Homo-oligomer: A and B are copies of this chain.
Amino acid sequence: MNAQVKTFSQDGDYKVADISLADWGRKELDIAEHEMPGLMSIRRKHAATAPLKGVRVTGSLHMTIQTAVLIETLKDIGADVRWASCNIFSTQDHAAAAIAATGTPVFAWKGETLEEYWDCTLDALSFPDGKGGFLGPELVVDDGGDVTLLIHKGYELEQGDESWVNSASRSHEEQVIKNLLKRVQKERPGYWTRVVADWKGVSEETTTGVHRLYQLAEQGKLLVPAINVNDSVTKSKFDNLYGCRESLADGLKRALDVMLAGKVAVVCGYGDVGKGSAASLRAYGARVIVTEIDPICALQAAMEGYEVTTIEDTLGRADIYVTTTGNKDIIRLEHMQAMKDQAIVCNIGHFDNEIQVDALYASGAEKTNIKPQVDKFTFANGNSIFLLAEGRLVNLGCATGHPSFVMSNSFSNQTLAQIDLWANKDRYEAKVYILPKQLDEEVARLHLEKIGVKLTKLTPEQADYLGVPVEGPYKPEHYRY
């Protein structure tokens, strides 16, 4: 472990790479605050009433500068916060240091092992009870569902169902989680049951995490109310689309300084992430080819002038591959082996299994590390490919993730969801909710002034003609934006 550790004390425990980076982190936090008008406006509006006063909140979300602004927003409106990252590579160490320096417990550094990662997650869940034991969170801010998974699996085990922890693991990470749960079972008997007793809700912001929540709900296994933040328009259509449009090229540039103009780039998937990625690459002068399974998205890609074909059709002529699907096995070992020499392969979708990274490691290809997050693999035929961020999110692994302004939209949704969950903790059931459209519009509204937008106001006659309130919401639920 290459982290600096401060254990339990008056002013907060932490595990970060280098606490001396706190000053630099604070300077960038100051800058980010100007770019996150939504969060700052929520602070102003709710600081006095402190709607989360004393509420224990665990966050599992990329520990970046932007997340630091989110953390301080939660604290400003009263919460007692502990935090871990949701990705072993995505922490910005100066951001983590700045947060740790204020006394907020944070457990995250860039380049964790999987064992360290899950230990950090447990640390973020463990609120000292002042008697040497631990309480769990009352609310969870989740990104990808790892905290939700851990609590559910821990609770299941304590309920006597040992089938999963004793089953064969399909991946190394799965085994790491099982080992952790077994350890907790020994060290903190009954812990998860006590955690669940206090837990009031979770807000989740990824497609993948939301999908897991709906599955749990369908199976009747969801333990708390959940808010699907991902499907707020100001999240899915902003973070996924505009965020990736800004950060994909940033990751590619910082990794390899590659000229994008004139290159053939394959974007696998044409959802919001794919749309943003393709737009960015084309704007640089790359020739973009899209792969899709969904005929509607495929037709959308064609209407924008992209060639749409299969990945097999592109092998040997494409220079850059980007996965954006949320699915697995998109780029398979046999694809990588047949690529043009020096092709670049990366993922901006969800998990690293979009690319068959494990198969690549096991393939006998010769691995050369160029610099952190940039590896060259040379195959028997003499061709090489570059794999970025070990197949994990290239914008977070090789650059600094989405910029502050777009994250302010996502995190405003997260914060409003946390306030909503707590306010309705006695009313909500263990189901998946989405934020009402009015809050979605409110998030957008909070970001307009910063960029000089002037809204038109409906007259009462016009509102009447349309059959909508003058103040909104303006669109039916099924509206697609």
Contacts and interface: CB of A to CB of B under 8 A. Distances in A.
B451 A311 contact: no
18 contacts: A35-B258, A245-B261, A246-B253, A259-B403, A261-B303, A262-B299, A262-B302, A262-B303, A262-B305, A286-B305, A293-B474, A295-B441, A295-B472, A296-B444, A296-B481, A298-B453, A310-B454, A317-B452
Interface in A271-324: 272, 280, 282-288, 291-311, 313, 317
A121 to B, nearest CB: 23
Interface in A323-337: 326-329
A311 B461 contact: no
Interface residues of A, number: 110
Interface string A424-457: 0000000000100000111011011001111111
A420 interface: no
A31 B246 CA distance: 25
A174 to B, nearest CB: 14
Contacts of A188: none
A263 B481 CA distance: 21
A73 interface: no
A203 to B, nearest CB: 17
A459 interface: yes
Given A245-B284, A264-B452, 6 more contacts: A65-B257, A259-B406, A261-B304, A301-B453, A309-B454, A313-B454
A474 B376 CA distance: 35
A300 B448 contact: no
B242 A370 contact: no
Contacts of A452: 264, 317
A147 to B, nearest CB: 22
Contact of A305 (B234, B287, B455, B481): B287
Contacts of A237: 300, 480
Interface string A355-391: 0000000000000101100001000000000100000
B211 A299 contact: no
Nearest to A341: B34
Contact of A296 (B234, B260, B262, B307): B234
A466 interface: yes
A242 to B, nearest CB: 5
A187 to B, nearest CB: 34
Contacts of A285: 242, 245, 303-305
Contacts of A467: 211, 215
Contacts of A119: none
B295 A456 contact: no
A149 to B, nearest CB: 16
Contacts of A297: 481
Nearest to A437: B296
A345 to B, nearest CB: 14
B246 A404 contact: no
A254 interface: yes
A72 interface: no
Contacts of A28: 257, 370
B456 A292 contact: yes
A474 B295 CA distance: 9
Nearest to A406: B259
